[in-house]
Structure 1
């Protein structure tokens, strides 16, 4: 540290005794006190010792801390190699008087063997605060100023808009001190917590590859396919980041005014989280019009499974950085407090965009917009779509499916920063066209629901499986008996302890079981189901396959005609009229009983626009090894047209979606101008001036102290 900060080294050389020149500040003060108390134990000497210590302390406050700050700025700005990785020490805590925002805990784990319906503290990120977002200073490039989304929208100039370009920087995935390499490792998380690594949180080469080559590029593409912005065509320089944001490794070039290489910068980590959260994110800096420009996210390695769910988790986190947080909705006057079902008060995103999509989805004109989550802790409440309102949306906490529906799109449009592509909205079947009753009434009345395709009332037992509401998989009704009474306003059954998940206002529904997706499930765990693209779930009536009972099965669907056609595993194509029961056609009598034909709209609603296609990750010899600085890993620096991470509308073929090198590629870093190259002297100058101004104070210390 002394070699990196010469003026700080000089100061410590003066203040600390010769034998303690490399000691920390606390040791320096301790040794000074010890030296003073060795003098004669008289009242006068004690007074002199106290005066010495007080003067020394004042000198340290006056000289050391400002000097340290100017040194840090100089080193970070100009010495790239010294700031490749941040310190592993805990980030500084913000002032309690600062305006605060909260990292969003997008996903939290389900406790093994426990009902998540019974404890709200298990669904929220521990309360941690980070400073409010900072405005990014920028100047116009080539005389062209930034045109805000709202202003450009008013002009109706379509050429002013393009698909958003997001660039992820992953330096913290290259430093072994910033992730777990073995069980028992001790690390400091990005939130400043001490963690002891467990085996499931070790970042292996394959987990890192999946994050870099699949999850991040696909998550970015999910947004770029649907959101357009006015491009950032100005010079930008990040402000000095604080707290959580400062804990991430940010390329030094980002603190120098240069043309932006993307519309949003994201800094990514993969550290075990002390609270057990699967992932979290927050915004760090905004443009002058308030649009988010930079943010951070952490994905816990134990959650990095090669599934579509993980890709959608990453997409969810990016959504928070894009502005899906309560403070952003509040800043644009989109939040409104309303009274909902059962007399509950909650916030909604209430704009013309959200009212329109809500009315069309539920087939109800008496609506007030999109309800926000009212249960959970900081980072959950009012920063997610309410799960009872719509359980399968991308921005719902613990979403069932995580679809990029019209609700997320309308929410982003309401911020005023984005234009959205509704033609790429993924379908939601949650309460679709169910009328105002679904929107305004309780899910159960006297233990009975008017919406059996969405809600369920059977305590799960082995073999009593059913289809999820979206027909995309098989699962069990998440109806549990809690260890204590459920709040009275959420009691739907005679048993006061019986209810569903707390985030859904205790309304029980069928949750997708692991490995039981109709398109990507494990056939060995899904007796009688066809697994593949376009497969959907149907319920059975006395249905059996090879002498084994089948309560629900995934079957092939043909949606080309008005009347649905289906084919069971090993069977033949046959018509399946809506609401009718038909006996499966099969060779050799493999099937008996009947299947209940679903609604055509429930199994045929899909979109190819912006579809998420997760290709298998090819194996690599060192996949199971922990990531280390010594392991040389190869990843494509530049995605080609067929790459999952390619963003449509990029300025050039060399634009990258995921930057996973330790240094930004040369073609992505603009050359510094002559003006920029001369900033070294101007940055060090305040440091030297401050030391010079402190000379009289230091002289007084010598006179009194010695």
Structure 2
């Protein structure tokens, strides 16, 4: 296998689902192979570039014994085709000369095959119930072959059959996020790969031994301090990514110029610890260890991919034009260094009220119906996940005087957050409909659709008694340069200025009460370029960016309203997915020098088909808890 060093090209990911085809039924196969996996791969090929493999991708047959005198292979490993629970087809390997006698005359060829055409990495997919498919583990993945520059060129991805949802309970965006999550593990985001990262010149960031390998500590390769900083915090090992582009992206996101590293998850054992972002500061990010209702990709994850030295990505660094394939990730955005260093709850009060909450819902297994609030990103109505656990929480995660009281999610450090209600196995978002009955929704003047966001309000139609305290309601919001227009009814709006966070604005006309102005930057971004605009629809999880809608994995179209499924792709020929980048033609500049121009006249090109890491979703906690609360809300809604 040779790598072309002339130009970076969109990564070509080959999905081998031959094992999967005999392990799931026809319905699951079509959904996973043709819809979910292809959606993840199509998005990654649009966001990630690589120095392409020249010719076909072929793996080396690993040698079990090498002759000292000649350096020739005396015997190939009996299990050289093994890749996790999968056997790689022999035809994907190159031929290997083997000299069992030690003499050239006695050499023979261990035959391989033609390899994989038009591919830079092979991902082998299965659905086998293994010892790792326990608890809430949905899938796991790892790398099993690396190129000469250490870039992963083969990996496996195993779905746990016991966690595959029936058709009626599937969550499309979450399923595509899981696939994207696992593929990113095979490509770079893993504690087993961090020690192999390289700098921009291709030099290993971690020094190598005589065998070209990183140092080993406690049975595992250990990354250099220029990649990973390790600290002991009250007897707990914490690890922080200190790579330059990751740090720059994180400083910009959190608004913390003194940040020196981004924390990795410390919980969950070998399957989760140190191979995911710490969900306490990166909740809802696709590379957190436990899935949220709607995971999204941040610039920090894209930056890590580029910091590996193997890829170039659309995003990651804070470019002058802000162009990025990252999604609508706002958790902790602009909160400052304190968000990274302080406890989420201080003296029983939320240190960041628009992110963490304190209202207790009673027993975690039988929660009460409390106040309807807004999620941190204002995309949904929800309830605070603070509740009484059966047992005392670990000492380092106790945020209240009562040692049993805390948020329901362990990976968020038991910090309570407002999470979307779940109904019929699906999270509820303002874009698709709220949680109140139609009558109650009309009474509050709610509106649902791509521009709808959760706003705290007491606004109620005249003739009805308004709530005593503001509660979450879904309303159309439209971003202006220095304000947000919030719809109260058809042609009745309230204007909230950029600096009026938390200010009460009275409503008029047929409605009485007030709304609490939301934080402008959360709704619209710092410059107002990210939020909803009148006449420019963008369906979540897509996000507005500089006048166009940037689609998340699993969606496509000018407004990101089309699900990237096999049945819909025929309407988007030649892989056309409305790319995030646009050409800027400048007067006096030759077309051949225009950045991003691949051919003139423009024409779409036909695309070809496209250590253990676990990803967890726990309906027994998130969904059951929030479904229970929604059920309690229904009687008075």
- Taking structure 1 as the reference length, the TM-score comes to 0.59
1:609 aligns with 2:550: yes
SS in structure 2 of the partner of residue 502 of structure 1: coil
Cα distance 1:281–1:287, how it changes in 2: closer, same or farther (>3 A)?
same
Whether the 8 Å CA contact 1:474–1:516 is kept in 2: the answer is: yes
Corresponding residue for residue 327 of structure 1: 192
Whether the 8 Å CA contact 1:233–1:260 is kept in 2: the answer is: no
Match of 2:59 among 238, 242, 245: 238
Match of 1:477 among 379, 384, 395: 384
Cα distance 1:634–1:174, how it changes in 2: closer, same or farther (>3 A)?
farther
Moved more, 522-531 or 495-504: 522-531
List per-residue Cα deviations over 1:447-472 (Å, max 9, x = no partner): 12321111111113315221111111
Match of 2:245 among 331, 348, 353: 353
Question: What is the CA distance between 1:316 and its match in structure 2?
Answer: 1.0
Whether the 8 Å CA contact 1:163–1:225 is kept in 2: the answer is: yes
List per-residue Cα deviations over 1:555-583 (Å, max 9, x = no partner): 11211342111214656343233332234
Question: What is the CA distance between 1:657 and its match in structure 2?
Answer: 3.6
SS in structure 1 of the partner of residue 550 of structure 2: coil
List per-residue Cα deviations over 1:182-209 (Å, max 9, x = no partner): xxxxxxxxxxxxxxxxxxxxx462x443
Corresponding residue for residue 219 of structure 1: 40
SS in structure 1 of the partner of residue 421 of structure 2: strand
Distance 1:602 1:383 in 2: 28
Distance 1:221 1:386 in 2: 27
Whether the 8 Å CA contact 1:467–1:475 is kept in 2: the answer is: yes
User: What is the 5 A alignment of 1:21-32?
Assistant: none
Corresponding residue for residue 146 of structure 2: 286
Size of the aligned set, in residue pairs, is: 462
Question: What is the CA distance between 1:376 and its match in structure 2?
Answer: 0.6
SS in structure 1 of the partner of residue 265 of structure 2: coil
Question: What is the CA distance between 1:280 and its match in structure 2?
Answer: 1.8
Corresponding residue for residue 295 of structure 1: 155
Distance 1:437 1:634 in 2: 47
Question: What is the CA distance between 1:249 and its match in structure 2?
Answer: 6.3
Whether the 8 Å CA contact 1:374–1:382 is kept in 2: the answer is: yes
Distance 1:406 1:618 in 2: 22
Cα distance 1:598–1:646, how it changes in 2: closer, same or farther (>3 A)?
closer
1:535 aligns with 2:455: no
Structure 1 unaligned spans of 5+: 1-137, 148-158, 180-202, 620-632, 659-706
User: What is the 5 A alignment of 1:366-445?
Assistant: 366-400=258-292, 401-422=294-315, 423-424=323-324, 425-445=326-346
SS in structure 1 of the partner of residue 271 of structure 2: coil
SS in structure 2 of the partner of residue 565 of structure 1: strand
Match of 1:318 among 157, 178, 183: 183
User: What is the 5 A alignment of 1:125-144?
Assistant: 138=1, 140=2
Structure 2 unaligned spans of 5+: 62-78, 94-112, 198-223, 316-322, 362-367, 531-544, 582-597, 611-637
Corresponding residue for residue 168 of structure 1: 15
Distance 1:165 1:647 in 2: 19
SS in structure 2 of the partner of residue 503 of structure 1: coil
Distance 2:461 2:35 in 1: 39
Corresponding residue for residue 13 of structure 1: none
Corresponding residue for residue 208 of structure 2: none
Q: Which has the higher strand share?
A: 2
Distance 2:578 2:140 in 1: 21
Whether the 8 Å CA contact 1:210–1:306 is kept in 2: the answer is: no
Corresponding residue for residue 573 of structure 2: 640
User: What is the 5 A alignment of 1:431-580?
Assistant: 431-460=332-361, 461-500=368-407, 501-514=409-422, 515-521=427-433, 528=441, 529-541=446-458, 551-568=471-488, 570=490, 572-577=492-497, 578-579=500-501, 580=503
Question: What is the CA distance between 1:396 and its match in structure 2?
Answer: 1.0
SS in structure 1 of the partner of residue 351 of structure 2: coil
By relative contact order (CA 8 Å, sep 6+), the higher-ranking structure is 1
Question: What is the CA distance between 1:513 and its match in structure 2?
Answer: 2.3
Distance 1:635 1:584 in 2: 43
- Taking structure 2 as the reference length, the TM-score comes to 0.65
Cα distance 1:413–1:642, how it changes in 2: closer, same or farther (>3 A)?
closer
CA-atom RMSD, angstroms? 3.5
Question: What is the CA distance between 1:488 and its match in structure 2?
Answer: 1.9
SS in structure 2 of the partner of residue 282 of structure 1: strand
SS in structure 2 of the partner of residue 475 of structure 1: strand
List per-residue Cα deviations over 1:286-322 (Å, max 9, x = no partner): 1111111122223342176142122112111111111
Distance 1:524 1:399 in 2: 26
Cα distance 1:655–1:429, how it changes in 2: closer, same or farther (>3 A)?
closer
Moved more, 353-362 or 207-216: 207-216
Whether the 8 Å CA contact 1:536–1:556 is kept in 2: the answer is: yes
